[in-house]
Structure 1
Amino acid sequence: MRPIKHGLVALNKINTGTSMHVHQVGFRQIKAATLGILLLSLLCWVPSAFAETNVRASVDRQQISSEETFTLSLVADSILFSGEPDVSALEKDFHIINRQQSSRTNIINGKVNSSRQWDYTLAPKREGTLTIPAIPMGKFQTRALTISVDKANRQTRGANGDSVYLESDVTPRSAYVQAELQYTVKIFTSINFLDASLEAPEVENAVVEATGEQRYQTLVDGRYYQVIERRYSIYPQTSGELSIPALTLQARVEGYRPSMLDPGRLVVKRSQEHHLNIKPPPAEFKGAVWLPAKKLALAESWSKDPDGIQIGDSITRTVNIQAKGLLGSQLPALPTYTLSKAKLYPDQAKIEQGDEQSEWSGVRSESVAIIPTVAGELVLPEVRIPWWNTTTNKAEVAVLPERRITVAPGMLNNVNSTPLNTSNSAPNQSLASNLAENTPATTSSAEQTTANTRLWMVIAALCLSNIGFALAWLRSRNGAINANNSVSVKPENESEAAAFSKLKKCVQANADASSLRGALVNWGQCYYQQALSLSQLGARAKELEHYCQALDAQLFAGRDAKIDAKALLDAVKKLRATKQPKNAASAPLAPLYPST
């Protein structure tokens, strides 16, 4: 039995040894895995801890009011980061008021540590819990921070000693789309500013125009304040809710302990926000263009008295649309019209914007040059502009009444309408017969004799004056009176040739439009042997009509009409070659500009 017992003992020893070996192997595996996890965790933790240690972000205050500022500080190891932080993400919720940069070097136990620091003075753009996002700095980035922004206590202003505060107001509280809103912001300060800036309002879906600034003093609860008042006109372009954001004042004032090295302390104040209801145009307005204004009127002016205008004269009419409460760019163009008895040359419209001291905030001026071509009456049509009165809340119509102008034939046309006779007896006989017809018959022979005597005295005087005029005219022409009492006139083709020569010289010398126009009119009058305006010449000679219109447009309408002078001269040459002028003896009038 011993061997067996011994064998059992031996077996037990073997089994026991195997069990101990298994336990030893399992413990080693667990220990290796644990060490691996710890090492991996350490590797993951080291960069994070390293980044937090070497790239840091901090704030000096975590709870502020909407009118206060705080400082964000960014610190980085100079070895790890040598650039500039990208802080553009801050501008979503904060105004960056100021930026400063500094460097620091520490030597501890012979070890040198160098770091850079960036300090940003920030002012919140709104109330609530705001997030300062992670700021990238090279391969690293800071952790995000949160700031609590409370509503400013406005009850402490003025009466309770605020040295600086803002007030803003807008009127009216409800308005029509495109109608004027008057926005006013006031800066109250009882201390001097070393430096200050106030942003201009930026309103979504609206046009904003600065209208003026005023400075004055006021007394608020026994304390004097300097007031800077700025005014704006806001024109909403869409209906619905309109939001006018708060404006931010950034001012630097003297520190509590002023000194030469003290840059002063920063003060940031914000105005109120405003929310308004903008109404669409009312259904009862029937005009083609929506014009909401406090006042709107039409007015006209003339370059000279239109009552004395004659054929061929140029006169300029200017019509103004004037509005209070609208921009000049909002005013519409005037209705167009044509005249059968005149040519019209419109000029480019002028837009003017008045200041708050002006009677009108916007003016649109349209001018047109008018050149009558026919004697008689010109009728300028009535002008009507519908608009909406925002003061009375009613539709109105501005009216410029119809204008009638009498156009006289003019001196040239009067002379042209009466042929010049070389015989002195014909006009005298005609005049005598006319006077005789207009002399009332009487039964008294004495009265008739007296009348006849006066009549012959008048006839004699007219004969003498007519003879004197004829002699003077003949002397100026270097002519002579022949035996038949007929006038020897210089051949008309010589005068036309001289006028054509002048026109040709104008073209060759590249003369201006005014000189070219005068030479062309002079030639036309010599060629046709009668007084003509430029427009009449164009109507008579179709070959020249285009050039006459271009000259009129350039001279009277202020347009840059391009005139091909050489082509004009060719057209005149062609006209001279194909159409001979009338004989001078049959011409009713001598040339307007005779050659000597």
Structure 2
Amino acid sequence: MKLYRSMLIQKTVAIVLALAAFSCSAISAHAQTLTASVDRTTIGEDETLNLSLRYNGSSNTRGQPDFANLSNQFEILNQSQSNRMNSYNGRIESYTEWQMILAPRTTGSLLIPAFEFQGARSNPIKVTVSDAQPVAPGNVKEVFIETSIDKDAAYVQEQVILRYKFYYSVNIDELAKEDLAFDNVLVEPLEETRYGKTINGKPFQVVEFGYALFPQASSVLEIPEQTWNARISRSPRRSVFDFNGGRYELKRLKTAAKTINIKEKPASFPAGATWLPSSALTLAESWASDPSKFKVGEPITRTLNLQANGLISSQLPEINTEARDPRLKVYPDQPKLNDKLDVDGAIAQRVETSAVVVNEGGEIGVPGVRIPWWNTVTDKLEYAEIPDRKFWVAAGEKSKQQPVVPTPPAVAEQNDTRQPSAPTTASNGDSGAHSWLYLLVALLILTNGVSILLWLRAAKQRTTSVTSKDNQRAGADSEKSLFNTLKNSCEQGNEAEIRRLALAWAQAFWGKPAITSLSDIARKGDCALQTECLALDASLFRNDDASEFDPAAFYRAVEQVRDSYRVNKSHTTGDELAPLYHS
């Protein structure tokens, strides 16, 4: 009996161990599975699909499959990894999952290859990609892009306006677009504009991105097709930073390619002159006081203002000229260059001032200015001109001479009869005394004139130095005032006003007027500022009240970057701020 019980126990243990081994084997086999799946197998060329790759195994899995072969036919727009552990009816299941958003690189029959990981292998998946379907009349897509240029042909260095209009009628969390760059083309971003538009009775919001292009060589300028990615929110009550949470769709959009014929400078344009292709150019002259009241040794400031539409200030020539009259001296100051970039394009300005001094009285000629330019509207050569001027200049008080009264002839004869030698000696001595007196007066006038000129130049240098220091203090005060105003706006929570003030502050803080968008600010800041700029941009895109933007957090991020730059500046010897990040 005892032997029978012993044998029964041994069999039971053997069965339990066998079942346990079988279970462990089954679990192990299950843990080593690698499964691939997609949300769609038929898509359009301008659409994306979601790929999910799941490995059932340890939650501490490290590494990932090799996705190199996948990128041959698909572009990986986003990739994330998550490790999870679930319990079902007391059974614990752990797995690692990779999720990707893919965009096809071409049309036709594409293949998502099989992947291998930790000895497991996934199944390949076939995806059919068709041509992008045109929008039928009356059936406008919820997001789309319009591409336009203001001219099909232009001269070398002439401004060409390129515009991208992004239309959307749904909530957009993020818009990612490619950088615009060309060979031998200067690119200046224009002011970004936003507005609403109704198309076929459907309301749209429009964001307009403009660029001023200045081709530097005559050729055919090809503006290539670009790919933009718009992330559409399908779940309004979720955080814009939770990329893996909620419902969303990533829409892949393409801009239209454009071709522009760039022509050479016309042969009729004057040789040696600066080439100025412009739609409008003006040249103006002004004086600090009436030049008809010139006086010897007293300077008058002359200002010449050159302004051109469709050019930048670096293209404008020098406009001050040397005086042709030796009695006229011109002392030029440093020119002031200004550029304005608005929605209509570039406007360049060059302002030159000079002190004009007359050394001698009489009729003085002030030289004029004649600048050739090419009118791109009429396609003709024109001249911006200030004519020569002539003024009568009065002598200074110290240069006025007393007239010499001649001796009457009868008196001279009488003196000669009475005392032949004495009058002659007296006359010569008086004439010599007057000559020495006149020479002394002339020397004093010359000495005083030189002293006045030296004093004026020293005063001008002191004024320039003080003005420079005042400008530096004014710039610092302006930046500080804008920062405080931005702080008040963040406390009030007006998002549009926060964006406007943030751009104004950034331009003053970094001294770069080319900062025209929140993306420009984000590139110059740290991770926290980049995150807050993204949140503000996303909030401005929304049409509902489901905003995750925190004005207080935005202000703290700006304050942190500002303090970091100020600390770096205190450790540098130059005047420029030492950048924390390269843009």
Confirm or deny that 1:237 pairs with 2:196. Answer: no
Confirm or deny that 1:346 pairs with 2:346. Answer: no
Cα separation, partners in 2 of 1:66 and 1:406, compared to 1, 3 Å: farther
When normalised by structure 1's length, the TM-score is 0.53
**Paired residue for 1:276?**
260
Cα separation, partners in 2 of 1:343 and 1:153, compared to 1, 3 Å: same
| Matched length | 395
**Paired residue for 1:334?**
319
2:292 to 307, 324, 327: 307
**Paired residue for 1:379?**
365
1:199 to 158, 177, 196: 177
1:124 positional shift: 5.7
**Paired residue for 2:152?**
173
Q: Mapping of 1:406-425 within 5 angstroms?
A: 406-410=392-396, 412-413=397-398, 417-418=401-402
Confirm or deny that 1:65 pairs with 2:49. Answer: no
Structure 1 residue matching 2:190: 3-state secondary structure:
strand
**Paired residue for 1:554?**
461
Structure 2 residue matching 1:212: 3-state secondary structure:
coil
| Aligned Cα root-mean-square deviation (Å) | 4.9
Which amino acid in structure 2 is aligned with residue 121 of structure 1?
Answer: I
2: CA distance, partners of 1:143 / 1:418: 114
Cα separation, partners in 2 of 1:358 and 1:273, compared to 1, 3 Å: closer
Q: Is the 8 A contact 2:320 2:352 kept in 1?
A: no
1: CA distance, partners of 2:153 / 2:224: 17
1:168 positional shift: 1.4
2:189 to 199, 210, 220: 210
Which amino acid in structure 1 is aligned with residue 182 of structure 2?
Answer: E
Cα separation, partners in 2 of 1:62 and 1:385, compared to 1, 3 Å: farther
**Paired residue for 1:487?**
none
2: CA distance, partners of 1:173 / 1:251: 29
Q: Is the 8 A contact 1:347 1:559 kept in 2?
A: no
Tell which deviates more after alignment, 64-73 or 551-560.
Answer: 551-560
Q: Mapping of 1:36-115 within 5 angstroms?
A: 64-73=43-52, 82=62, 97-105=77-85, 115=95
Structure 1 residue matching 2:164: 3-state secondary structure:
strand
Which amino acid in structure 1 is aligned with residue 369 of structure 2?
Answer: V
Which amino acid in structure 2 is aligned with residue 104 of structure 1?
Answer: R
1:169 positional shift: 0.9
Cα separation, partners in 2 of 1:142 and 1:404, compared to 1, 3 Å: farther
2: CA distance, partners of 1:85 / 1:303: 76
1:113 positional shift: 8.1
2: CA distance, partners of 1:242 / 1:173: 10
1:160 positional shift: 1.5
| Bigger relative contact order (CA 8 A; separation at least 6) | 2
1: CA distance, partners of 2:108 / 2:264: 34
2: CA distance, partners of 1:86 / 1:413: 93
1:103 positional shift: 0.9
Give structure 2 stretches of 5+ with no counterpart: 1-28, 239-244, 409-439, 469-583
Q: Mapping of 1:79-478 within 5 angstroms?
A: 82=62, 97-105=77-85, 115-123=95-103, 150-156=130-136, 159-191=138-170, 193-197=171-175, 199=177, 202-205=180-183, 206-255=185-234, 262-288=246-272, 289-334=274-319, 336-338=321-323, 340-356=326-342, 361-410=347-396, 412-413=397-398, 417-418=401-402
Question: Which structure has the bigger radius of gyration?
Answer: 1
Structure 2 residue matching 1:154: 3-state secondary structure:
coil
1:201 positional shift: 5.5
Q: Is the 8 A contact 1:171 1:183 kept in 2?
A: yes
Q: Is the 8 A contact 2:110 2:128 kept in 1?
A: yes
Which amino acid in structure 1 is aligned with residue 331 of structure 2?
Answer: Y
Which amino acid in structure 1 is aligned with residue 388 of structure 2?
Answer: E
When normalised by structure 2's length, the TM-score is 0.55
Which amino acid in structure 2 is aligned with residue 100 of structure 1?
Answer: S
Cα separation, partners in 2 of 1:407 and 1:216, compared to 1, 3 Å: same
Structure 1 residue matching 2:461: 3-state secondary structure:
helix
Cα separation, partners in 2 of 1:130 and 1:182, compared to 1, 3 Å: farther
Percentage identity across paired residues of the two chains: 33
2: CA distance, partners of 1:167 / 1:342: 59
1: CA distance, partners of 2:190 / 2:466: 34
2: CA distance, partners of 1:276 / 1:244: 8
Q: Mapping of 1:492-571 within 5 angstroms?
A: 530=444, 535-537=449-451, 551=458, 554=461
Q: Is the 8 A contact 2:142 2:168 kept in 1?
A: yes
1:58 positional shift: 7.1
1:370 positional shift: 1.9
Q: Is the 8 A contact 1:322 1:360 kept in 2?
A: no
